[in-house]
Amino acid sequence: MLFKIVIMRLLFAIIFVTIIMTNDSYGTDSSSDGAIPVSRLRTVWSKEVLPDRVHSDYPRPLLTRREWLNLNGYWDWQPSDAPALSAGADSARISVTKNDQFNGRILIPFPLESSLSGVGKSFDRIAYRRQFKIPQTWKNDQRILLHFGGVDWETIVYVNGQFAGKHQGGYDPFYFDITNHVKTSRDELNEIVVYVYDPTNHGEQPRGKQSINPSGAQYRSVTGIWQTVWLEPVAKSYIQSLNTTTNIDKNILYIHPLIENPKPELSLRFEVFDGDELVVEAFGGVDGRTMMKIPAGKLKLWKPDTPFLYQLRVQLLERGIPIDQVGSYVAFRKIDLARNAQGRMRIRLNNKFVFLMGVIDQGYWPDGLYTPPCDNAIKSDVMTIKSLGFNLIRKHLKVEPERWYYWCDRVGVLVWQDMPSGDNRTIESKKIFQHELQRMIKSRSQHPSIIIWSLFNEGLGQHRTPEYVKFARQLDQSRLINAASGWNDFNVGDLKDAHKFPGPETPVMDNIRCGVIGSFGGITLVAPQEHLWTTETWGYSHAKDSETLLIKYQKMHNELKTMIENGLSAAVFHQFVDVESECNGVVTYDRALLKMPLNEVKKINAETIKYGSSE
């Protein structure tokens, strides 16, 4: 490690900034065929991307079944002229036509614009095609569900030429029951055709940092399928979802399953495990929630130091016979606000004051853009952040695939989850925003690592803020709500949030909400050219070398300690990795170099967390 740090310091000692773009290193731009400049920058995990097992890990860790079929891999694709639903098209009349030549090939689940997709082009309307066979082991009387982890933005699906379903939303998972459309013989080929429309910043939908013309803090857009596509066989009645809540003060777990096709003769069996040990068992009906109490002495709390997860098994019974079984996990943890001895409102985790020392993570990859190369890459990012001593990740203006949150749950990192932003200028766009906010909270609310929902960032698309705070609170009463991170404050929500670059600058405390710094830092240290997306870089402030960056980082933390004494509860450093031309990350975009020694950053963060939590 010492050798690596010495080499790193030598590298950064000779860094210089250039503003000359080397086009022959980054591809060519040809608007006539949709080509875009695609950097050759890759992460080390690119070599793990193999077409026959790309993103082969189970995509839904909180509701697992043994049988499933991964449809990732090579699909056919082509630009499409299919009309958009948002433009008033009738999905039932958009049919698969002979004009669909599908003479291109794309590696799913990587978005069209990414280098890992094999395409590197951008179109607002595209069509995909994939053939598959139903596995011989699946029973003929089972229902077949077609799942999409995420498609940006509008999706119309046909199976064997028949309309299967439609969906709008770039960040939430969805599925269609395609039982009536698949061929009954297990030897016959079935065909999926997917039409996608994504207007990016020409549209009215939430899109986060995506832009058709990326520059500065706006990054490369992504189009189409960007998360795992998969098939799942289920019984005619099956467990659609599990909603769990915990009460650490009373040792109580509540489980509220949603059952598809419920019937009077159905019941449920719940089992909670600590490893192989059965902790508690209960039986319940299918039309309400079941309460389970963890025995005295058996309760283990989830926190970053000890992120304990109970394993959960749920069986759906028909007259006592199991017809469906799912696996899951659950954590006992509590997040709330309380006044400290000085009367200032502070954040508590499991009834103890905790200072949140976070880092912004935008979830971009040079080779996959929105999509990480593989599960090992996801795990590495989360573990690197924890190794640097941060106890919080602010997931900035993006909703990740579920496996990202799974690793946060397992490794023990708290998550501040942003709602992806949009312009929200029209009545229709505001409806879309509310719908996608609801879907974000619903689809990710079972992950114990998430402790904050953040609705707006720096005024972008901000509207009806008090209404949305109430709306989010109705959806989830177990987490903190940040109405707006930076800029426009409407005196609602749990947090009063200020931004300052480089900063930090504390918000004016109101003794009703917690004071937090949602973003500060942004110090640019430009890496050697082989680790850059482009040599045309920028940042909010600059450091000439690694030592200077570390000194600036330490100075900021010294200032944070003074702010903590005045009631500051959280601070989020900008940012974890460089993203495209924005080179103010602690780590280079390709995840190859740390810009400061890990142990030094870890020590500084640990001191600040301890200082802010000792009340």
The whole-angstrom separation of Cα 366 and Cα 149 is 21
Question: What's the pLDDT at 101?
Answer: 78
The whole-angstrom separation of Cα 604 and Cα 613 is 14
Over pLDDT 90: what percentage of the chain?
87
Using the structure block, give the residue that is written with the tokens 């999509």.
371
Question: What's the pLDDT at 84?
Answer: 66
Tell me 591's DSSP state: S
37-54 per-position pLDDT tens digit: 556 899 999 999 999 999
Question: What's the pLDDT at 11?
Answer: 40
With beta carbons less than 8 A apart as the criterion, state whether 65 and 119 touch. no
Q: What is the CA radius of gyration of the chain?
A: 25
Confidence of residue 86 (pLDDT cuts 50, 70, 90): low
Taken in order of first residue, the domains within the chain and their CATH numbers are 49-234 (2.60.120.260), 246-330 (2.60.40.10), 336-613 (3.20.20.80)
What is the 3-state secondary structure of 489-558? CCCCCCEEEEEECCCCCCCCCCCCCEEEEEEEECEECCCCHHHCCCCCCECCEECCCHHHHHHHHHHHHH
Q: What angle do CA 389, 392, 393 make, to 5 degrees?
A: 110
With beta carbons less than 8 A apart as the criterion, state whether 494 and 454 touch. no
Q: Three-state SS for 602?
A: helix
Residue 270 has pLDDT above 90, yes or no: yes
Residue 15 has pLDDT above 80, yes or no: no
Backbone dihedral region for residue 526 (phi beyond 0: left; psi -120 to 50: alpha; all else: beta):
beta
Detail the DSSP E strand segments found in 331-386: 335-339, 345-349, 352-353, 356-361
Question: What's the pLDDT at 509?
Answer: 87
Question: What's the pLDDT at 99?
Answer: 52
572-591 per-position pLDDT tens digit: 999 999 999 999 999 999 99
Residue-by-residue DSSP string for 262-298: --TTEEEEEEEEETTEEEEEEEE-SSS-EEEEPPTT-
- Can you name the residues that pair with 538 across neighbouring β-strands? 582
Over pLDDT 70: what percentage of the chain?
91
Task: Measure Cα distances from 203 to 33, 378, 431 in Å.
Answer: 21, 30, 13
The whole-angstrom separation of Cα 574 and Cα 578 is 10
The predicted model gives 166-190 an average pLDDT of 94
- Can you name the residues that pair with 256 across neighbouring β-strands? 243
Confidence of residue 18 (pLDDT cuts 50, 70, 90): very low
The predicted model gives 277-284 an average pLDDT of 98
Dihedral, 479, 436, 173, 223 alpha carbons, nearest 10: -130
Q: Three-state SS for 372?
A: coil
Higher pLDDT, 184 or 149: 149
| Strand bridging mode 514-521 / 392-395 | unpaired
Question: What's the pLDDT at 250?
Answer: 97
Question: What's the pLDDT at 614?
Answer: 84
380-393 per-position pLDDT tens digit: 999 999 999 999 99
Question: What's the pLDDT at 96?
Answer: 53
Question: 100-104, 460-464, 510-514, 563-567: which range is least confident on average?
Answer: 100-104
The one-letter code for the residue type at 106 is I
Q: What is the sign, positive or negative, of the torsion defined by CA atoms of 384, 494, 584, 203? A: positive
Residue 475 has pLDDT above 50, yes or no: yes
Q: What angle do CA 613, 415, 277 make, to 5 degrees?
A: 90
The whole-angstrom separation of Cα 530 and Cα 147 is 38
Average pLDDT over all residues of the chain: 92
The predicted model gives 300-327 an average pLDDT of 98
Burial bucket for residue 32 (CB in 10 Å: 0-12, 13-18, 19+): exposed
Long-range contacts of 280-283 (CB under 8 A, 24+ apart): 280/253
Question: What's the pLDDT at 184?
Answer: 77
Residue-by-residue DSSP string for 464-485: SHHHHHHHHHHH-SSSEEEEEE
Confidence of residue 16 (pLDDT cuts 50, 70, 90): very low
Q: Three-state SS for 322?
A: strand
Measured in residues, the chain has a length of 615
The whole-angstrom separation of Cα 222 and Cα 420 is 14
Which residues have CB under 8 Å from 610's CB, separation 6+?
A: none
The whole-angstrom separation of Cα 339 and Cα 99 is 66
The whole-angstrom separation of Cα 401 and Cα 61 is 10
Question: What's the pLDDT at 606?
Answer: 98
Dihedral, 102, 208, 375, 300 alpha carbons, nearest 10: -140
Backbone dihedral region for residue 493 (phi beyond 0: left; psi -120 to 50: alpha; all else: beta):
left
Residue 23 has pLDDT above 70, yes or no: no
Q: Three-state SS for 307?
A: strand
The whole-angstrom separation of Cα 288 and Cα 94 is 40
The whole-angstrom separation of Cα 381 and Cα 607 is 22
Burial bucket for residue 500 (CB in 10 Å: 0-12, 13-18, 19+): middle
Residue 416 has pLDDT above 70, yes or no: yes
Residue of 473, 359, 459 whose CA lies nearest to 415: 359
The predicted model gives 373-402 an average pLDDT of 98
Residue 221 has pLDDT above 80, yes or no: yes
192-215 per-position pLDDT tens digit: 999 999 999 999 999 999 999 999
- Residue 46 backbone dihedrals phi, psi, to 5 degrees: -55, -35
Residue of 96, 99, 153 whose CA lies nearest to 130: 96
Residue 548 has pLDDT above 90, yes or no: yes
Number of Cβ within 10 Å of residue 222's Cβ equals: 28
